[in-house]
Amino acid sequence: MLKFNIRGENIEVTDSIRDYVVKRISKLQKFFEDSVEATAHVNLKVYPSRTYKVEVTIPLPYLTLRAEETSNDMYGSVDLVTDKLERQIRKYKTKVNRKSREKGLKNIEFVPSDDDETSDDDLKIVRTKQISLKPMDPEEAVLQMDMLGHDFFVFQDAGTNGTSIVYRRKDGRYGLIEAE
pLDDT digits (tens, 9 = 90+) for 59-85: 877 778 889 999 999 999 999 999 999
Residue 111: closest CA among 130, 138, 134: 134
- Domains present along the chain, CATH in parentheses: 2-103 (3.30.160.100), 113-180 (3.30.505.50)
pLDDT digits (tens, 9 = 90+) for 92-136: 877 777 766 666 544 444 333 343 333 345 557 777 888 878 899
pLDDT digits (tens, 9 = 90+) for 45-59: 888 888 999 999 888
Residue 10: closest CA among 48, 40, 42: 48
Please give the model's pTM, rounded to 2 decimal places.
0.57
- What distances in angstroms separate CA 45 from CA 5, 26, 27, 115, 153, one per listed residue? 14, 20, 22, 19, 28
